[in-house]
Structure 1
Amino acid sequence: MQNVRPKKHLGQHFLTDLSIAERIAQAVQGHGDVGCVLEIGPGMGVLTDFLLKNPMELYLIDIDSESIAYLHQKYPQLGGKIIEGDYLKENLDAVLPERYAIAGNFPYNISSQIFFRVLEERQKVTEVVCMLQKEVAQRIASPKGNKDYGILSVLLQAYYSIEYLFSVPPGVFNPPPKVNSGVIRLTRNQTEKLDCNEKLFFQVVKGGFGNRRKTLRNSLKSFQLAEEFKSHPILNKRAEQLDVADFVFLTQQIEASRGNH
């Protein structure tokens, strides 16, 4: 079998270190009695080899037709569980069980988009173990009050417990990326639904961080806050000082003031 060429436009950096691949695979715990793992961007199957040792059913999705052909040759036993497609766009309802875990060495150029898709699928995705650019991994796992803390931190922490597991140097990839990588694990928490309008919550979080230097009183001006709420001390803070519960409270107040209009 001929090796797959890493393609720059797909952001491919193939992991070559087997011990790191094994650590990532072992971090998948199968939270919530889930029997299935979807690996995003398996490339040449370095991580796949170790995920196959897991008792959970394994599905692979890759956008690269050269990788797909290689994977079909390497893993004939997976057959129809090897999906050629884009996780960001593909409707996998008919293919995957109702609840599934995700694993993968995410392409750095689309890792944030993958997480926004995970948020859309949050009732189905019970766990994510992935490697991505270290800065992004740290941002997602970051607590409030930290300069790394941002939109994705709040939105993901609303529905997932997040652990930063370990860092990975550039030299273990072909080709080596220009940045360090980090591996994180997201485990779905008990929050079925937030105690506010979730769509508005997403908008408030994005609005709050839209200009992170400003206080919330200024960055949320467009939300038409009720007069009596405008003097609330929470509005003197900046978005990075608020945790999920604070943003839920803020959303409830905006919702209430809209109801009074």
Structure 2
Amino acid sequence: MKQVRPKKNLGQHFLTDLSIAKRIADTVDACPDIPVLEVGPGMGVMTQYIVEKPRPFKVVEIDRESVEYLNEHFPKLRENILGEDFLRMDLRKVFDGQQFVLTGNYPYDISSQIFFKMLDNRDLIPCCTGMIQREVALRMASQPGNKQYGILSVLIQAWYDVEYLFTVEPGVFNPPPKVQSAVIRMTRNKVQKLGCNEELFKRIVKTTFNQRRKMLRVSLKQMLPADSPFFDEYSSVLTKRPEQLSIPEFVELANWLENYLCANTNA
């Protein structure tokens, strides 16, 4: 069978450098002894190294042409090639409820959606590795006070320790992307509960970073009346911008806001 043609509508950029493919494949070794799920294997440049590891392994690929290629070239993996859309999958069914490592050369245009799905299934995924757009990787690993610090930074780091491993240049792909790529690893931290209303926490993070250049008191007016006493009571924090707040400070803000809303609802 001839090689798979990269499809623009699927955001396919096939890695051609075998040494880099092996380096990425080996990032899953940080979480040994549990299964691995690779997203978007394409023609199996990473797959060829992961399949040799002594652990259960499956791949999920939405592109039918790639599925045919994988079936032909990886016969021992044939029963474990899932021709599905990762974003629509029930991840609890992949390894019968077992935890697994998530990895892949992720399509740039849906990488954030993949990681939000990871967060929704964090009890199943103690480790996630792979390659994404460098700009996204920098955001995910960024700390408070940096311009890259944002929604992904806070929501992911609340539950995972993020490591920026190495940068990958465009020339090792077919076709070459217009941006640099980066390999990251996320390892589940020990946090089981944030200590606040987690849905409110997410809403505050998204609301404030969607107006990241404005003070918190301005962006939070979407959630409270403009003349609310809340803005005076917590003015020392609300005059900051969102990139200045650590995760514990966002948790504290969520608790303040929930307590205020409950007190005023019940008044």
| CA deviation map 1:148-180 (0-9, x unaligned) | 111011000000000100000000001111111
What secondary structure, in the 3-state scheme, does the structure 2 residue paired with 1:113 have? Answer: helix
- Alpha-carbon separation, structure 1, partners of 2:57 and 2:18: 19
- Alpha-carbon separation, structure 1, partners of 2:192 and 2:79: 32
- Alpha-carbon separation, structure 1, partners of 2:68 and 2:80: 13
Q: Which residue of 1 aligns with 2:229?
A: 227
Distance 1:127 1:24, change over 3 A: same
What secondary structure, in the 3-state scheme, does the structure 1 residue paired with 2:59 have? Answer: strand
Q: Which residue of 2 aligns with 1:160?
A: 160
Question: What are the within-5 Å matches in structure 2 for residues 69-218 of structure 1?
Answer: 69-96=68-95, 97-218=97-218
Identity rate, percent: 50
Q: Would you say 1:42 and 2:44 are equivalent positions?
A: no
- Alpha-carbon separation, structure 2, partners of 1:237 and 1:45: 47
Q: Which residue of 2 aligns with 1:60?
A: 59
Report if the CA contact (8 A) 1:30-1:56 is conserved: no
Report if the CA contact (8 A) 2:216-2:240 is conserved: yes
What amino acid is aligned across from residue 93 of structure 2 in structure 1? Answer: A
| CA deviation map 1:20-58 (0-9, x unaligned) | 011111111353x65111100000000011112322211
What amino acid is aligned across from residue 81 of structure 1 in structure 2? Answer: N
Q: Which residue of 2 aligns with 1:260?
A: 263
TM-score of the pair, normalised by structure 1? 0.95
- Alpha-carbon separation, structure 2, partners of 1:237 and 1:19: 45
Report if the CA contact (8 A) 1:34-1:99 is conserved: no
- Alpha-carbon separation, structure 2, partners of 1:37 and 1:58: 5
Give the C-alpha shift of residue 79 in structure 1.
2.6
Report if the CA contact (8 A) 1:217-1:236 is conserved: yes
| CA deviation map 1:99-134 (0-9, x unaligned) | 111110001111111111111111111111110111
| Structure 2 alignment gaps of length 5 or more | none
| CA deviation map 1:211-257 (0-9, x unaligned) | 01111011111222862563421111100011111110000111101
- Alpha-carbon separation, structure 2, partners of 1:193 and 1:30: 24
| Structure 1 alignment gaps of length 5 or more | none
